[in-house]
Amino acid sequence: MADGNTAAAEAGRDFIRDIVQADLDAKRHSAVVTRFPPEPNGYLHIGHAKSICLNFGIAEEFGGRCHLRFDDTNPTREEQEYIDAIERDVRWLGFDWGQHLYHASDYFERLYEWAEHLIGTGDAYVDDQSQEEMRVARGTLTEPGRNSPFRDRPPEENLDLFRRMKAGEFPNGARVLRAKIDMASGNINLRDPVLYRILHASHPRTGTKWSIFPSYDYAHGQSDAIEGITHSICTLEFEDHRPLYEWLLAHLPVPAHPRQYEFARLNLTYTVLSKRILNALVKGGHVLGWDDPRMPTLAGLRRRGVPPEALRDFAKRIGVAKANSLVDLGLLEFSIREALNPIAPRRMAVLRPLKVVIENYPEGQSEELDAVNHPDDPAAGMRKVPFARELYIEQDDFMENPPKKFFRLSPGAEVRLRYAYFITCKEAVKNAAGDVTELRCTYDPATKGGNAPDGRKVKATIHWVSAKHAQTAEVRIYNTLFAKPDPAGGENFAADLNPMSLEVFGSGKIEPALGEAQLGKPVQFERLGYFTPDPDTSAARPVFNRTVGLRDTYAKVTAGEAKGR
Ligand code: ATP
Ligand code: MG
């Protein structure tokens, strides 16, 4: 077995890891047990990835274990599709719960018995007030709440009513079971919180067996206790729930007393991480599905070509803090580039093709040129790139009237074609509308491989593909889903959507070696970014997603602004 302590020391520290270490040192626990507790009401997103990396990461580093527990207490919002997606995504991210897959619904029986226990000790009562009456009586942050007229029901009556709630005698919303704590508490969570509500709905796992369901606050801590969780780690918004978490543990015959610790949730610029809004994006047709590559979901990031290592690296870089903050999307892109750069073979592809005819290259002739697969990794080897009289280059690598600092092609200018020859532009051919449709060029046979024997230099190297050898591909370029760094999280989210979030290039041209690109295998299109085939790809029509560009566009924007542009 690995030495957990040494591993932890190498893995980077944060206040939660410090607490875990201190607890182990003091022998308060023999082993750390954490859990990741998603509600299966949507797909996991990159914020969840932070929590997964934290919970599973701590278990790994300290030689403990981490449970995957579905918080399936609300059957009206939960679906099997989400359960399957969550399991797939946690595995993909690189974590394994082993035997420890649980559901809050596994504990419905025990939770029910404990509710009866609270009734018996006079710590819970059945309330017949309507939802609205309860809301009003709860008070506000500045005003105490008022006791329910049903608060002092004798335990026998409460028990009878609660059993009849369970038996399905009452309609939805007719009654609830509440903990009897303190309607005047400064903490609203302690003002007699609801433990059980009536819900006649079919549950994905328990079917129609139950017509009452435990509240999140009641189910969550008790599930932690049943599983022997040592450190129950959650996001800051649950800090105010901790007194209730502890009250319940103190009033129930639970087998263990987990401690809850809160950390700051991930917020990311240009990104919304609310499951409610992600759901609305899918249902409203603003994106093509939960796995749309513009979505911050793990399924979307995977489809886009982001490797799981990049997300784990990102989680490590952002760390775990006690104060909320906003992380720059550029940092995520940095982690993605760091992960892709060493493993992505280099290839050539042209998004907006402009035809080039090499007038002094014989018709019908072609040759194969040597190209390195990776500039920093000789072991990645070489490949052959076909060259012929007609080529494609990017439209924006040519300008008819270039400004001073434009060193790429223009009439009379000479450039290097990557891995090939120097070419000189002789003429731009235009159509009736005045658009450049073709460039007539010459090449210098002596520059084969990219250097001139006479030592003359060119200032630009551009990528290209041979027209007759190239395959046509669809290339999808993604921009941020939201146009603003801080999109509105409320009902108006759609107003902040970026109309340019997806650009499709239907007549991309790719070199023959890209015909072998495989799903899940990244490539770098030279000068354009990192790409990966989309599941829509086929041999007849390859489809590529751009995972990320080569440079940090956000940093550029900021620098530009700083210069007052
Ligand atoms: P909901 O609003 O539906 O509760 P949720 O994002 O909190 O949404 P859960 O399924 O309850 O969804 O989340 C599972 C776990 O992931 C929780 O422990 C939660 O604290 C954590 N989590 C959720 N969002 C983030 C985030 N942005 N950053 C870090 N952790 C998060
Ligand atoms: Mg939640």
Q: What is the DSSP string of 435-464?
A: -EEEEEEEE-GGGTTS--TT----S-EE--
Distance 564 CA to ligand 2 centre (A): 42
**Ligand 1 atom, smallest distance to 44 CA:** 10
Three-state secondary structure call for residue 54: helix
Distance CA 86, CA 299 (A): 9
Q: Say if residue 56's pLDDT is above 60.
A: yes
Residue 96 — pLDDT band, cuts 50, 70, 90?
Answer: very high
Give me the mean pLDDT over the 274-280 stretch: 95
- Residue 254: band (very low, low, confident or very high) from pLDDT cuts 50, 70, 90: very high
Mean pLDDT in residue range 147-173: 98
For the cut 70, the answer to whether the pLDDT of residue 554 exceeds it is no
Q: How far is CA 119 from each of CA 104, 157, 251, rounded to the nearest angstrom?
A: 21, 10, 11
Short-list 301, 419, 341, CA closest to 49? 301
Report the C-alpha gap between 461 and 479 in whole angstroms.
Answer: 26
Burial state string for 94-105 with b = 16 or more CB within 10 A and e = fewer than 16: bbebeeeebbbb
Exactly one of 242, 275, 303, 337 is catalytic; name it: 275
What residue ranges line ligand 1, CB within 6 angstroms?
37-39, 41, 47-48, 50-51, 234-235, 265-266, 273, 275
> Has residue 563 got a pLDDT over 80?
no
Point out the ligand nearest to the CA of residue 71.
1
Indicate whether 187 pLDDT > 50. yes
Taking 70 as the threshold, does the pLDDT of residue 561 lie above it?
A: no
Please give the distance of CA 56 from its chain centroid, rounded to a whole number: 17
Q: Burial code of 284-299, b = ≥16 C-beta within 10 A, e = fewer?
A: eebbeebbbbbbbbbb
Beta strand spans in 380-450 (E): 382-388, 390-394, 414-417, 422-430, 436-443
First to last CA, the chain: 58
Which residue among 138, 146, 151, 265 is the active-site one? Answer: 265
pLDDT score for 551: 86
User: Could you tell me which of 436, 437, 438, 398 has the C-alpha nearest to residue 417?
Assistant: 398
pLDDT digits (tens, 9 = 90+) for 128-139: 999 999 999 999
Which one-letter DSSP state was computed for residue 414? Answer: E
* Model confidence pLDDT, tens digit, residues 193-249: 999 999 999 998 999 999 999 999 999 999 999 999 999 999 999 999 999 999 999
For the segment 395-451, what is each residue's pLDDT rounded down to a tens digit?
A: 999 999 999 999 999 999 999 999 999 999 999 999 999 999 999 999 999 999 999
Query: CA–CA separation, 371 vs 511, rounded Å?
Result: 12
Gap from CA of 115 to ligand 2 centroid (Å): 22
DSSP labels, 103-164 = EGGGGHHHHHHHHHHHHHTT-EEEE---HHHHHHHT--SSS-----TTTT--HHHHHHHHHH
Task: Give catalytic status of residue 78 as yes or no.
Answer: no
* Ligand 1 nearest-atom number relative to CA 265: 28
Cα–Cα distance, 145 to 134 (Å, whole number): 9
Active site residue 39: yes
Gap from CA of 142 to ligand 2 centroid (Å): 26
Question: Over the stretch 328-374, which tens digit does the pLDDT of each residue have?
Answer: 999 999 999 999 999 999 999 999 999 999 999 999 999 999 999 99
Helix (H, G, I), strand (E, B) or coil at 44: coil
Phi and psi at residue 305, to the nearest 5°: 115, 10
- Mean pLDDT within 14-28: 97
Q: What is the pLDDT of residues 312-333, one digit of tens each?
A: 999 999 999 999 989 999 999 9
Joined tokens for residue 280: 């609305």
pLDDT of residue 560: 38
For the CA of 51, the nearest atom of ligand 1: 30
| Centre of ligand 2 from the C-alpha of residue 57, in Å | 20
Q: Which residue, by CA, sits nearest to atom 29 of ligand 1? A: 265
CA dihedral sign, ordered 509, 514, 517, 522: negative
In the predicted model, is pLDDT for residue 299 greater than 50? yes
Which residue stretches of 180-307 are H helix? 216-227, 242-251, 275-283, 298-304
Residues 452-485 pLDDT 10s: 999 999 999 999 999 999 999 999 999 999 999 9
H helices within 289-415, ranges in order?
298-304, 308-318, 329-340
* Cα–Cα distance for residue pair 191/244, rounded to 1 Å: 10
Q: Which of 434, 444, 504 is nearest to 473 (CA)?
A: 504
Beta bridge partners of 477: 503
Identify the nearest ligand to the CA of 39 by its number: 1
**pLDDT classification of 490: cutoffs 50, 70, 90:** confident
User: Residue 316 phi/psi, 5° resolution?
Assistant: -65, -40
> Is 355 labeled as catalytic in the residue annotation?
no
Assess whether pLDDT exceeds 60 at residue 286: yes
d(C-alpha 502, C-alpha 477), whole Å? 6
Q: Is 7 a residue whose pLDDT tops 70?
A: no
Given a cut of 50, is residue 558 above it in pLDDT?
no
Looking from the CA of residue 237, the nearest atom of ligand 1 is 20
> pLDDT tens digits, residue range 377-386?
999 999 999 9
One-letter amino acid for residue 358 of the chain: I
